Amino acid sequence: MKRRIVKAILSSLLMIVFLLMLLTGVLLFFGKTGMIWGFSRYTLRVMHFYMALFMCVLICIHLILNCKLFLSELSGLLKKRKK
């Protein structure tokens, strides 16, 4: 697969995981007791935890794929600060 397609898939997965994590977090915050949309609080906590782990893995892959860009932006930022 081309690198551009891999980056597009990765970005899409990151967005989906972020939205799912946001949804479970909001449901846990506002749903203080009982079942929420048919899910127990325990199930929502487990889903939230695994979404966070999956997001960490995706972020690491994202940083590896964009390492060259990140380093060039960082060097440009540091050069501007020295002046």
| pLDDT tens per residue, range 45-67 | 999 999 999 999 999 999 898 88
Question: Mean pLDDT throughout 6-22?
Answer: 94
Task: Note the pTM of the prediction, 2 decimals.
Answer: 0.74
Q: With a cut of 60, say whether residue 75 has pLDDT above it.
A: yes
**Interacting residues of 3 by C-beta distance below 8 A, sequence separation 6+:** 65
- For residue 51, the model assigns a pLDDT of 95
